[in-house]
A and B are shown apart, each in its own frame.
Chain A
Amino acid sequence: MEFEELQQIWDSQNNRPLYAINEEALHKRIESKKNQVRHITNISELLLIIVNIGSGSLILGMNFSGQIFMYLLAAWMFVTALYVLISRIKRIKGNNRFDRSMRGDLTQAISVATYQVRLSQLMRWNIIPIGTLILLGVWDGGKSVWVAVGLVVFFAIAYLAGGWEHSIYKSKKRELEILQDKLEKEN
């Protein structure tokens, strides 16, 4: 064959598409993405509830008599755990409003991803009041300035790591939205 013939063979595909989109496979892929997002969200919520209740209880159990900031810190942690618990219940109840179609599954996956993005942002901001209360507690308890410096560094790292985690969730959400756009264009 000469190159012109190869060119003609190549041009023949312009009249018929090389691929077709398999709707059933796409639905399965979406379902798997939805389950993945739900699983990550479940784990995040449970960890936040356990860690906040556990830390709050530990602070109360350590008997910081007269150190008001430590009691405030414990109370703040219980409130955080309660907030996450209520959000979780609302989220699970809200799952019923999505139908079991491909679009329904995708909308649900995006809704859970949006929730996860918001939760991770709130928990990142939550480092600020928790860090402040701990530092005030350290100051109130008359601890060394180096303990306070160490804690500031620790919270700064936690805040940065929280930002990194948040960007991962945002990117996952973005991918789902792109998939939704693609699906809308296909039909």
Chain B
Amino acid sequence: MTEKEQQHIFETWLGQYKALIFKIVRAYAYTSMDQDDLFQEIIIQVWHSIPAFRKESSVITWLYRVSLNTAIKWTRKERKHYQDETLDNVQHILQESKSIDERLTWLYEEIYKLDEIDRSITLLLLDGFSYKEMSAILGITESNVGVKINRVKKLLITKSKKYDYHGI
């Protein structure tokens, strides 16, 4: 693959599937500084992954696999910026849209509280992936995926009831 072809694929993917990367960034990085860092890390890994893409899966599945693996590794390795307050003067590359439904913000906060694998499962579940696809992306068995999905669904439904109860 020539560099020009790689660049063309990268631009197409970034144009069409930017929203997918945003979802993963939002679910794995809490502060704005971390979101910037993780976004850059994911797009760099996506670039490097292009020559290895063999069209055996769809582009979305491939991007999810690369982005989730990057996010999971990043969560384990990187030093996080826990407080944005100390970084008041820093402007962030990614600016969260103001018109986002507050229930969606709540949902992301709940996803962020899950462990790394459950976060991935939840994102894939909400984006309509099958057990088989999730199993292939995350490298865990389908039955394990099923167990985790049941647990995550129950947890989110319970938490959403508390959320409703508080009348927000």
- The number of inter-chain residue pairs (CB within 8 angstroms) is 92
Q: Give CA–CA (A29, B93) in the complex, Å.
A: 8
B96 within 8 A of A: yes
Tell me which residues from 17 to 50 in chain B have a Cβ below 8 Å from any Cβ of chain A: 18-19, 22-23, 25-26, 35-36, 40, 43-44, 47
Q: Give CA–CA (A178, B18) in the complex, Å.
A: 15
* Contact status B160-A19, CB under 8 Å: no
| Count, chain B residues at interface, CB 8 A | 39
A140 within 8 A of B: no
* Contact status B100-A16, CB under 8 Å: yes
Nearest-Cβ distance from residue A181 to partner chain B, whole angstroms: 6
A63 within 8 A of B: no
Contacting residues, chain A, for B14 (C-beta < 8 A): 181-182, 185
* Contact status A22-B92, CB under 8 Å: yes
* Contact status B107-A9, CB under 8 Å: yes
A146 within 8 A of B: no
Nearest-Cβ distance from residue A17 to partner chain B, whole angstroms: 6
The contact size tier of chain A is: 20 to 34
A26 within 8 A of B: yes
Which single member of B15, B104, B107 contacts A185 (CB below 8 Å)? B15
* Contact status A19-B96, CB under 8 Å: yes
Known contacts A10-B126, A22-B93; A17 and B157 CB within 8 A of each other: no
B62 within 8 A of A: no
Tell me which residues from 84 to 140 in chain B have a Cβ below 8 Å from any Cβ of chain A: 91-97, 99-101, 103-104, 107, 126-127
**9 pairs, A vs B, C-beta closer than 8 Å:** A6-B126, A13-B100, A14-B19, A17-B22, A18-B23, A18-B26, A22-B94, A178-B43, A179-B40
Q: A16-B99, A17-B19 are in contact. List 11 more A-B contacts (CB 8 A).
A: A3-B157, A9-B101, A10-B127, A12-B104, A13-B23, A19-B25, A19-B35, A19-B94, A20-B94, A25-B91, A181-B11
